[in-house]
Structure 1
């Protein structure tokens, strides 16, 4: 069997699980609508003085997305907890009015649990976005938001990442009472079905022989850029770094020259304009740009909509491409070297 024929006939767990995301989001929204409403009423009545997210890997990239969503639509600064502060240094958390949002597929990593426990003991209300609802994290939560992604057997997280993004949308839409965001969440599953089938094969050809690349986003799309960079590393054996379109213009831009590969995620808002400007500048130097653009002006098709929803659609399109790229480069996306599904860091 020829290599290209193998790519078209092999169905991996990563590919099939990513394809389940639209239905998983439907389950998430239906199952947690009441919980989002109760939590939102609590948060409006008693706004927390600080918000802390606790996660690692893909879940932490979902937290990056949530940070922008909360800060732009709610206005409360969000910080990412460093798990080693609790698990290694055993440092106490200063008491106060706080919201701790923990995001995890398994809900079992010891350092995550230690961090959540420290914040809870300091008075934080703990919200858990977790796929395994029998996990220790789920049991600890003051508010449990089950991700409803179903079993995820591939080491590379896909549908659980997308449902974590949708969980942040559900929380913020209810909290802010933003009608446009609420309507966008209602239509998200159907849009994900369209995004799942978009043709991103140009990126497979662009990155097939790459050794290094940049992934660029800004605002709502930055957490998606982080996730894409991780997937390139873990499933494709390809070194990739994620940058904000603003940050990449500092030191990192010095190494961008002819043929340098870049994947860029541009939303339809002003943050997306910044990504488009960076992509245009790098293209003028001869860099090889694959631009996913919600305004439909890039080489990779995108779907226009609410700017906060567009990156979720982009990552749905990205996963099949990453799966195909992994196979094209001779890797098994379901079994990355040296990795396992639950990382028990302490």
Structure 2
């Protein structure tokens, strides 16, 4: 049974299912501006890049960092919004440095203040936004619309997937990565398959959980971070994301018999050591749930359906696409409302 199917589907479920078609439309709509942005950024030849974001968008920013450092070869730092919005301490070294500001709404006051100050210091502000008519887009030198359309569920799904897709497109054009460009062009069927993947077997292992670890590395570290955030938001489940390498430096000692561990296995060299790590968790009696290549995740108690024969970047995006179905089903099973988590708003007004 498709996790997203229901006689009365949630907004979260409905909107997540829209993402694959929206990504392909985005690729077409953004083709010229991405090519021009790539040319402009190559000519700029900056010493480093920076990201600016919060919440799910900050998880996407970590994806941008991974892409720029591995594809473009450009060191990328996270510029905390408060440096500009509270401290007014943005460095003059941001002159001619791309600042990738990521926001669904483009209206959060702290992001706007930080982007304005960075622009005043000479930064090249690149707005990656769902609303191309937003204040953030207005102050940017380059605007990259993610074309996700209206998203009414508080928990972001399609806008997040579309943002990852747009960042991958930008990195491919910036670096001249023909292989990644081709993978994006042919990603439609894989993302559709991922949207329909049934991860419901994980619900019984998580429905009574109070806390858990979520693992990723390389291209899937972002996926683990977003999944952990959604588990908190929509399922009232304390989930923490770690690199599958970093988790051995302390957090692993917290996991014992019966504790769930969800692993998003990368499809590139970052898979190194993952099987040994999962074996360690299984030996402790942890209930390991994993998606990835079968040889890497064999120690898992539950292997989630996933098409592992794909480009590592597309594979990572496909994993979060599938996860949203699980998050939706688990939220409902735990008596929560995934469309309207308590104490959260669609636009967060942080100063």
Q: For 1:1-346, what aligned pairs fall within 5 Å after superposition?
A: 8-95=6-93, 96-295=95-294, 298=297, 299-303=303-307, 304-346=309-351
Identify unmatched segments of 5+ residues in structure 1. Answer: 1-6
Q: Per the alignment, in what secondary structure is the counterpart of residue 83 of structure 2? A: helix
Equivalent pair of 2:271/2:296 in contact (CA under 8 Å): no
Q: Per the alignment, in what secondary structure is the counterpart of residue 152 of structure 2? A: coil
Equivalent pair of 1:294/1:310 in contact (CA under 8 Å): no
- Deviation track 1:144-199 (CA, whole Å, cap 9, x = no partner) reads 11110000000000000001100111101111111110111001222110111111
Distance 2:187 2:125 in 1: 26
Distance 1:147 1:58 in 2: 14
- Deviation track 1:184-226 (CA, whole Å, cap 9, x = no partner) reads 1001222110111111112111111100000000011001100
Equivalent pair of 1:265/1:275 in contact (CA under 8 Å): no
Distance 1:139 1:225 in 2: 32
Distance 1:322 1:218 in 2: 20
- Deviation track 1:322-343 (CA, whole Å, cap 9, x = no partner) reads 0000000000000000111000
Distance 1:274 1:46 in 2: 38
How far residue 290 of structure 1 moved from its aligned partner, in angstroms, is 0.4
Distance 1:297 1:89 in 2: 45
Normalised by the size of structure 1, how large is the TM-score?
Answer: 0.96
Equivalent pair of 1:216/1:225 in contact (CA under 8 Å): yes
Identify unmatched segments of 5+ residues in structure 2. Answer: 298-302
Distance 2:286 2:139 in 1: 48
How far residue 287 of structure 1 moved from its aligned partner, in angstroms, is 0.4
Moved more, 253-262 or 326-335: 253-262
Normalised by the size of structure 2, how large is the TM-score?
Answer: 0.94
Equivalent pair of 2:84/2:118 in contact (CA under 8 Å): no
Cα RMSD (Å) of the superposition? 1.6
Counterparts in 2 of 1:88 and 1:22: CA distance versus 1, 3 Å? same
How far residue 297 of structure 1 moved from its aligned partner, in angstroms, is 6.1
Distance 1:297 1:254 in 2: 22
Counterparts in 2 of 1:10 and 1:206: CA distance versus 1, 3 Å? farther
